[in-house]
Structure 1
Amino acid sequence: MCDVQLWIENHASSGLLSWADQQAAAKRFNVSVACIEAISLKRGILPTRYQRNGAMLSCHDQLCLFSSHVAVVGCGGLGGFVVEELARLGVGHITIIDPDVFEEHNLNRQLFSSTDVLGCDKVTIAAQRIAQVNPATVITPKVKEFRRDNGIGLLAGAQVVVDALDSIATRLELAEVCRELEVPLVHGAIGGWYGHVTTLMPEHHHLEQIYQQPDSRGIEKKLGNPSFTPAVIASLQVAEVSKLLLDRGDLLDNRLLMVDLLDMELSEISF
């Protein structure tokens, strides 16, 4: 291990380790690039991919993100953007849970969809994509439908869970499992020009206040989903996840942030 540390320190430039050197070190010492990233961050050396994070996140912060495990339930419009942004941010382990395959109607908004992957498992394609975006992020793909009876196993080890579902009934089951596991849940929902975000701490039951008709699939079917609304709401969810992992800033805890992109208005409801 000392040899690896010395090699990294000798090849770092201005406190940064390039992707080429990360790859070279992994090959030289027969370890994963994730291992090299961990060693680098522990030595206070930032992989160059995170250079633009440096003004707002310290090397210690980056190590905290790298050491974190986030579960994303749903890999469609919201989930695709959430997964990619978490990986680009530097979260080290992401579990992705979704039973579906890509269909043609996904092409207008789902980040990982393309004509080449129609009929393919969403989580498998997501894992392949993230392997190209940030190979140091470990992806655990689970082609499973989230349910109350399998939820504890699917979310095992996650420090934060992201709700990227489109079923109200399943969202409520997810909230119940997160309470049981005592894990925060970052909830987001979209429909047409509109969306909302809130962060649910384990002791809260706010989702039941938001949704009064648990059998409904929500308003997505009625209002539609364009390309931009999922990207906006997913980004707000990722901001909440990062604050939870880093224990920083004011969370949307006990607050529901509502976004109206048609009139460009933000409003807030307190629980």
Structure 2
Amino acid sequence: MRDFRAALEALASENASRRVRTVGLEELRQLCRDHGLTLPQGAKGAMEQGVVPLPFLKNLHSLSISEQNRLMSATVLLAGAGGLGGYVLELLSRFGVGRIVVADGDGFEDSNLNRQLLSTARNLGSNKARAGAERARATCPLVKVEALEFFLDASNLQGVLTGVDVVVDALGGIAPRLTLHEAAGLAGVPVVSAAVAGWTALVGSELPGQKGISSMWTDPSDKDAEHVLGSLAPAACLAAALQAAETVQYLTTGSLRLAGRMLHADLAEFHFELYDLS
């Protein structure tokens, strides 16, 4: 690693306007090849040395270098890679969250094409988590995305949650969400959750031991509102963007802005309201 650092110092260039040293993607890729590192390992090593890979340059100065470092060192469990999860994965990987574990046992169907970023006419039937990992490797190869091609449940969540800093709940249905929230609470891991139906988006967060948005879901046998109102792309995009923002805020500052609260967005009327659920 010492040789890598020395070679990186020789390659790094000064960005005068942002007052940081940077390295280009292809330069970093070749450097990693030369020193037997994966690209995510090289990106993390560069950030630790104060050299910003150019794909992360525009994150500054909304994020400091130390905050970007925290993202690179973080692990997120993304439960679901459909309407919400596909957009969340896109945003968190481009932000530079170092390790994202995305779990989904489902495959794409024709009816996903209206709103799910990861679905295409060519990958119908393909596993959603695998498709998300493949896209993330193409759009932001500086982070590590691991695909779990199965559904999360009480039998596997304890193991999956090991080493996770925060969970993003992008599931559909009520029963799987309640199982996820319970397991995360027992593991001491906060959850950033969202739900969409029609033009409506709901987003909220929960710290371990604290009830919030999950208190809205009481009966595991109930169907979610999507079955009545459908699911539209603008609501899914908005909810996912808010989940990603909340997740990044937590990983960089340790604070959940929506802990114990729920943001309700009605895009048909452009009405937004914040509720205290604690």
**TM-score scaled to structure 1, two decimals?**
0.97
2:259 pairs with 253, 261, 266, which one? 253
Task: Return the offset for 1:149.
Answer: 2.4
Question: Which residue of structure 2 aligns with residue 13 of structure 1?
Answer: 13
Verify: 1:184 aligned to 2:190, yes or no: yes
Of the structure 1 ranges 21-30 and 90-99, higher mean CA displacement relative to structure 2 is found in 21-30
Q: CA RMSD in A?
A: 1.2
CA-to-aligned-CA distance 1:99-151 (integer Å, 9 cap, x gap): 10011111111111101101111111111111101112111111111112221
Q: Distance in 2 between matches of 1:110 and 1:45?
A: 35
1:267 pairs with 240, 250, 273, which one? 273
1:244 pairs with 240, 247, 250, which one? 250
Question: Which residue of structure 2 aligns with residue 194 of structure 1?
Answer: 200
User: Are 2:213 and 2:260, in contact at CA under 8 Å, matched by a contact in 1?
Assistant: no
Q: Distance in 2 between matches of 1:56 and 1:207?
A: 28
Q: Distance in 2 between matches of 1:243 and 1:261?
A: 24
**TM-score scaled to structure 2, two decimals?**
0.94
One-letter amino acid of the structure 2 residue matched with residue 2 of structure 1: R
Task: Return the offset for 1:214.
Answer: 2.1
**Residue-pair matches, total:** 271
Q: Structure 1 regions of 5+ residues with no counterpart?
A: none
Q: Distance in 2 between matches of 1:167 and 1:211?
A: 10
> Residue 115 of structure 1 aligns to a residue in which SS?
coil
Q: Distance in 2 between matches of 1:94 and 1:192?
A: 28
Task: Return the offset for 1:205.
Answer: 2.6
Q: Distance in 2 between matches of 1:204 and 1:146?
A: 22
> Residue 76 of structure 2 aligns to a residue in which SS?
strand
> Residue 84 of structure 1 aligns to a residue in which SS?
helix
Q: Distance in 1 between matches of 2:214 and 2:113?
A: 32
Of the structure 1 ranges 199-208 and 35-44, higher mean CA displacement relative to structure 2 is found in 199-208
Q: Structure 2 regions of 5+ residues with no counterpart?
A: 15-20
Alignment of 1:4-153 (within 5 A): 4-14=4-14, 15-153=21-159
Q: Distance in 1 between matches of 2:161 and 2:106?
A: 18
